[in-house]
Amino acid sequence: MNFGLTHRQSLFNKAFFSGSYKYLCAAGTAGSGKSVLTIGDLHYLAKKISGLRFAVIRKSEKNLKLTSIPTFNKVKMLSRSVNSSVIVDMSARYPNGSDILFIWADPTKDPDLDNVKGLELTGALIEEANQIDRRYFEILKTRIGRWNNHKCPAFILLNLNPSLGWVKEVFYDNFINNTLPPEYFFMQFDKRDAEKAAGREYVKQLEDLPPEEYRRYVQNNWDYSEIPNQLVQYEWYKQCIAPQPEIDPLIRAIGAIDPAWEGDDATGFGFMHGNHMGWWESYDKQDPDYSGDLGYQRAQEHFVKRGDLIVDPIGVGAATALRLSRLKFEPDLFYAGSPPVNTYGLLEAFNKRSEAGWLFREALRNEEITITHDPDFQRHVLAMRYSIDEKKIRIRPKDEVKKEIGESPTYFDLAQMLTHKWKTTNGELAKQLFERQTAVKTPTISTRAAADRARIIKQGRIGV
């Protein structure tokens, strides 16, 4: 397997195909081609040797579908063997009888690890191994070499970014101390590999990471510590990145506008189709009336229905909201300082903005949504902090964030508005809110918003 490998990638492949090692770990800088390299090795063997069976292990089925399988398809394209296999039921099947199985490994959903225990494999690959429970690695040791091992030596490949945890203890620490067991191999890739694999522009974008995470993901700092009270970790952000889908008029769309006019702030637009968030736009010093006109136009393009276009009406946003109302497309007004809607449980949110930010954090952490990557979006999201005071969650004020990054976190504001609307009108949370409101006979969220709009429009102004 060779399609423009770097020097270190070639060394890794030399070690792998030598047959001298059973457990081989590819680690290092984000974007340095570790997944393409290791999945490429499985593909090469499966294509060349009949009757082999490999497993690609990742924590969630969602990430297998969004990341590992697209990487597998990229490998086939790069090696000019697009028609060499067909994926059926999470398995790549080759005409010669070889298979590559794509298998999730999450002990919270499978406490007894049964999803892996019954496998019979030639070899395996653990993707993003830092996210995988060490027990899976130990079980896989007993499952490899059980399928046509006379044709191919048993092995486990691993790839990951630098991280505290069991992989560091087993591979990196022993590598540094010259105590790696004979069957173990470790190779660390760096910024030069990333520049060749993903391009200099990609590596340049990584400079927008917070310093601690830059040291980890670019400079290979294995002893990193999580940024105190960071609302969203880069690991969560990265795992939810997915290609932006085509707009489907049959899938519910939600839009958000964060208007700005004077100063350094920018007017932002963002949209959500199903559970994918993206379609970001920003404009400096945009007239708020024009923001309303453009928002109406974008709502038509994205098939956003009435009530699903959100506007922050504070300040100049009042004019944008009023303009939309005059176009007979009344928006849902997002008052950041208003009380949260989900006021039960041990922890409460300080206000609606804090609640929306926390819902966005949890949606990323739990992989409930996918996102379109944008360098500005990434920078805004990773700059957010939270605190817990008197059992109330508070999200860092915008003014503090602006001082740190030199701009208002417009895209984060859009993301939290979109998430709040999506979470409180879909799924289990929406059901709980409806049942709670019905029980106490209070107006629904949409009813309160409608009453607010009617009162404000009657007065001829937006906001107070």
The pLDDT score that the predictor gives to residue 461 is 40
The per-residue DSSP string of 216-228 comes to HHTT--TT--PPT
Strands 253-258, 309-311: pairing kind: parallel
What is the b/e burial string over 1-38, where b = at least 16 CB atoms within 10 angstroms of the residue's CB? beeebbebbeebbeebeeeebbbbbbbbbbbbbbbbbb
Q: Which residue has the tokens 């990323």?
A: 364
What span, in angstroms and rounded, lies between the C-alpha atoms of 217 and 202? Answer: 12
Rounded-to-integer distance, Cα 118 and Cα 204, Å:
44
Given this model, what pLDDT does residue 179 score? 97
CATH number 3.40.50.1000 given to 7-217: no
Whether the CB-CB separation of 126 and 59 falls below 8 Å is answered with: no
- What's the pLDDT score for residue 439? 57
User: pLDDT value at position 150?
Assistant: 81
List, by residue range, all CATH 3.40.50.300 domains of the chain. Answer: 7-217
Give me 233's structure tokens. Answer: 């970790």
Please give the Cα distance from 265 to 256 (Å, whole number): 16
The CATH number for 253-458, chosen from 1.10.150.120, 3.40.47.10, 3.30.420.240, 3.40.50.1000, is 3.30.420.240
Eight-class DSSP state of 288:
H
Give dist(CA 332, CA 286) in Å, integer: 21
The stretches of 332-409 forming alpha helices (DSSP H) are 352-365, 375-382, 398-405
Dihedral (Cα; 63, 64, 67, 73), 10-degree rounding: -160
Residues 6+ apart with CB under 8 A from 342: 349, 355, 424, 429, 432, 433
Asked whether the whole model's pTM tops 0.85, one would answer no
Among candidate residues 345, 354, 351, 330, the one with its CA nearest the CA of residue 416: 354
Are the C-beta atoms of 276 and 245 separated by less than 8 Å?
yes
pLDDT score of 77: 94
pLDDT at residue 463 in the model: 38
CB 78 within 8 A of CB 44: no
> What is the C-alpha radius of gyration for the chain, rounded to an integer number of angstroms?
25
pLDDT of residue 61: 93
Sheet-wide strand order for 253-258: 332-333, 309-311, 253-258, 266-273, 276-284, 370-371
Instruction: Give ranges for CATH 3.30.420.240 in the chain.
Output: 253-458
The number of CA neighbours under 13 Å toward the Cβ of 433 is 19
| Per-position pLDDT tens, the chain of length 464 | 545 788 999 999 999 999 999 999 999 999 999 999 999 999 999 999 999 999 999 999 988 998 999 999 999 999 999 999 999 999 999 999 999 999 999 999 999 999 999 999 999 999 999 999 999 999 999 999 999 878 899 999 999 999 889 999 999 999 999 999 999 999 999 999 999 998 999 899 888 888 888 999 999 999 877 788 999 999 899 999 999 999 999 999 999 999 998 777 899 999 999 999 999 999 998 999 999 999 999 999 999 999 999 999 988 999 999 999 999 999 999 999 999 987 555 578 999 999 999 999 999 999 999 999 999 999 999 999 999 877 789 999 988 999 888 899 999 999 999 999 999 998 777 676 666 555 544 444 444 444 544 444 444 443 33
SS3 state at 371: strand
DSSP annotation of 84 reads G
Q: Dihedral angle at the C-alpha atoms of 25, 26, 30, 35, nearest 10 degrees?
A: -100
The H-or-E segment that residue 456 falls in is helix 445-458
CA distance 226 to 232: 11
Helical packing angle, 375-382 and 398-405, nearest 10°: 120
Per the structure block, which two tokens stand in for 57? 């292990």
Q: Are 372 and 278 in contact (CB under 8 A)?
A: yes
- The total of other beta-carbon atoms located within 10 Å of residue 219's CB is 14
